[in-house]
Amino acid sequence: MVILDGLPDRPVNGRTPLTVARKPNLDKIAEMGINGIMDTIAPGIRPGSDTSHLALLGYDPKKYYTGRGAIEALGVGIDLNPGDLAFRANFATVKGNGSIFDKVVVDRRAGRIEETEELVKALNEIDLPVDFEVAKATGHRAVVVFRGNFSTNVSDTDPKTVGSKVKRCEGDKEIAEIVNEFMQKAHEVLEKHWINEEREKRGLPRANALLLRGAGVMKEVPSFEERYGLSLKVISATALIKGVGRFVKGEIFTPPNATGNKKTDIGAKIKAALDSLKSSDVVLLHIKAFDELGHDRDFEGKVGFIEKFDSYASKLLELDFSKNCLIVTSDHSTPVKVGDHTADPVIVSILHEDVRRDDVKTFNEFEAPKGGLCRIRGADLLNIALDLLNLVEKFGA
Ligand code: ZN
Ligand code: ZN
């Protein structure tokens, strides 16, 4: 299952990046397969990458999704138990007098600080009434987990706008008070940390606060293997997608030069996916940069990355389609005109020796709807593939 994150687009002067790009291999995939469009969650619902990936793996996000924090925490490698509460966090710069909640955010990313290892180490030494863990994520980002049996009924402390005061955590009293205590103690530890003294000498903003958002609680989830009797491997460099993989207890692999952006080593990722089929039943290969370029509203950039991906995609066509099923699709559209995810259905091509091939010969938003798959839901995708492979039981007699 190849997920081209945020690839599909809306027309700009009648054209989308996919209609402009030269992409002989993606077109070959469309030609060899059965094609259609797909609402990864439901028509008109704008999917997040986390909820849509859950749906594509057959997990109803309405039932299982409990907020981004938990998925992100799993993605950076923290082990979670049911009931643990996780937040996404940003190192930020705050100024003013009094407690952390009297101070104003002047930079939500603390000058896009990268060297947070020592700060994270110091934060983990804080004394709190519950067990907790802070972990570094990419750049200025981190994850904070409070261990216990909590609900997600707690608010963010990140005001999300520069010039606003740090927010007090509200909601479930028991945990909100602990979060607020953490906020104050974290500020004190960071304010006097030598890294920040050095940053100040170099004229850089102090990373003197941790802003929390996106509370999520870990849930009891049946593993992919329990559900389907098949092993799962997820190949991605993006914490959120790795988190979805760990959420359903799949195996995760990130090739050394996979970056989760447009500089990624596509060849290494495709090779890793094909190699993984020797030991895993289902392999999800996630390629992120299409989405990033959509968020950046970069039409030409998207065209260029499609062509770059395509130059490696011939390897996918070397699969033995009498034994393997290849799905090429996306988790949602990220149109350059919008700069964010939309509910426009995504393109799906499914390849297998026994598939009923249709007349679609071009991989794009306008041709895919003419294919034999018509319009499906994300929750049905895996079942369709398993049926082609004769891996499902009959329903009824
Ligand atoms: Zn996405
Ligand atoms: Zn996105």
Model confidence over 70-117: pLDDT tens digits? 999 999 999 999 999 999 999 999 999 999 999 999 999 999 999 999
What whole-number distance in Å separates Cα of residue 336 and Cα of residue 358? 29
Residue 251 has pLDDT above 90, yes or no: yes
Please name which ligand lies nearest the alpha carbon of 329: 1
281: which DSSP letter?
Answer: S
Ligand 2 centroid to Cα of residue 38, in Å, is: 17
Segment 335-346 mean pLDDT: 98
Ligand 1 centroid to Cα of residue 395, in Å, is: 33
Ligand 1 centroid to Cα of residue 211, in Å, is: 24
| Angle, in degrees to the nearest 10, between helices 239-247 and 68-75 | 100
What whole-number distance in Å separates Cα of residue 244 and Cα of residue 247? 5
Ligand 2 centroid to Cα of residue 295, in Å, is: 6
Please name which ligand lies nearest the alpha carbon of 335: 2
Answer with the one of 216, 251, 286 that is the final residue of a domain. 216
- pLDDT score, position 360: 98
On whether the CB atoms of residues 103 and 165 are closer than 8 A, the answer is yes
Ligand 2 centroid to Cα of residue 234, in Å, is: 18
What whole-number distance in Å separates Cα of residue 228 and Cα of residue 39? 22
Q: What are residue 57's phi and psi, to 5 degrees? A: -90, 5
The answer to whether residue 301 is domain-embedded is: yes
Ligand 2 centroid to Cα of residue 60, in Å, is: 20
Q: Are residues 173 and 226 in the same domain?
A: no
Segment 26-51 mean pLDDT: 98
Ligand 2 centroid to Cα of residue 197, in Å, is: 35
Residue 292 has pLDDT above 90, yes or no: yes
Please name which ligand lies nearest the alpha carbon of 330: 1
Closest by Cα among 85, 33, 76, 89 to 326: 33
Q: What is the CATH number of the domain that holds 301?
A: 3.40.720.10
The answer to whether residue 384 is domain-embedded is: yes
333: which DSSP letter?
Answer: B
Please name which ligand lies nearest the alpha carbon of 240: 1
Closest by Cα among 172, 170, 239, 167 to 210: 167
- pLDDT score, position 139: 87
Ligand 1 centroid to Cα of residue 4, in Å, is: 8
On whether the CB atoms of residues 284 and 232 are closer than 8 A, the answer is yes
Please name which ligand lies nearest the alpha carbon of 7: 1
The answer to whether residue 245 is domain-embedded is: yes
Write down the pTM of the prediction.
Answer: 0.91
Query: Cα-Cα-Cα-Cα dihedral of 248, 252, 257, 263, to 10°?
Result: -10
Q: Are residues 177 and 236 in the same domain?
A: no
Segment 291-299 mean pLDDT: 97
Answer with the one of 188, 216, 244 that is the final residue of a domain. 216
Please name which ligand lies nearest the alpha carbon of 294: 2
Segment 233-251 mean pLDDT: 96
Ligand 1 centroid to Cα of residue 332, in Å, is: 6
Which residues, at least 6 apart from 326, have a Cβ–Cβ distance to it below 8 Å?
A: 2, 29, 33, 316, 319, 350, 351, 352
174 or 3: which leads in pLDDT: 3
Q: Are residues 62 and 79 in the same domain?
A: no
Ligand 2 centroid to Cα of residue 180, in Å, is: 30
The answer to whether residue 394 is domain-embedded is: no
Ligand 1 centroid to Cα of residue 36, in Å, is: 19
Q: Are residues 20 and 158 in the same domain?
A: no
Tokens of 357: 């091939």
The answer to whether residue 124 is domain-embedded is: yes
Ligand 1 centroid to Cα of residue 284, in Å, is: 14
Ligand 1 centroid to Cα of residue 96, in Å, is: 38
Q: Are residues 53 and 109 in the same domain?
A: no
Domain carrying residue 148: 75-216
Ligand 1 centroid to Cα of residue 50, in Å, is: 7
Q: Please, which pLDDT band fits residue 260 given cuts at 50, 70 and 90?
A: confident
- Percent of the chain residues past pLDDT 70, beyond the cut: 100
Ligand 2 centroid to Cα of residue 332, in Å, is: 8
What whole-number distance in Å separates Cα of residue 53 and Cα of residue 144? 23
Q: Are residues 201 and 246 in the same domain?
A: no
Q: Are residues 81 and 210 in the same domain?
A: yes
Ligand 2 centroid to Cα of residue 72, in Å, is: 14
On whether the CB atoms of residues 321 and 276 are closer than 8 A, the answer is no
Q: Please, which pLDDT band fits residue 66 given cuts at 50, 70 and 90?
A: confident
Ligand 2 centroid to Cα of residue 296, in Å, is: 10
Q: Which residues surround ligand 2, an ion (CB under 5 A)?
A: 291
Residue 320 has pLDDT above 90, yes or no: yes
The answer to whether residue 238 is domain-embedded is: yes
Residue 259 has pLDDT above 90, yes or no: no
Closest by Cα among 332, 339, 236 to 288: 236
Q: Are residues 36 and 90 in the same domain?
A: no
Mean pLDDT of the chain: 96
User: DSSP string of 185-223?
Assistant: HHHHHHHT-HHHHHHHHTTPPP--EEEEEEEEE------
- Model confidence pLDDT, tens digit, residues 175-214: 999 999 999 999 999 999 999 999 999 999 999 999 999 9
Q: Are residues 57 and 200 in the same domain?
A: no
Answer with the one of 201, 216, 231 that is the final residue of a domain. 216
- pLDDT score, position 138: 86
Closest by Cα among 304, 277, 305, 283 to 236: 283
Q: Are residues 46 and 137 in the same domain?
A: no
Q: Please, which pLDDT band fits residue 18 given cuts at 50, 70 and 90?
A: very high
The answer to whether residue 395 is domain-embedded is: no
Q: Please, which pLDDT band fits residue 345 given cuts at 50, 70 and 90?
A: very high
Which residues, at least 6 apart from 126, have a Cβ–Cβ distance to it below 8 Å?
A: 132, 182, 185, 186, 189
What whole-number distance in Å separates Cα of residue 74 and Cα of residue 133? 12
Segment 135-150 mean pLDDT: 94
Q: Are residues 86 and 164 in the same domain?
A: yes
Segment 291-301 mean pLDDT: 97
Number of domains in the chain: 2
Ligand 1 centroid to Cα of residue 289, in Å, is: 9
Segment 358-385 mean pLDDT: 98
Segment 229-258 mean pLDDT: 95
Segment 259-269 mean pLDDT: 91
Q: Are residues 270 and 246 in the same domain?
A: yes
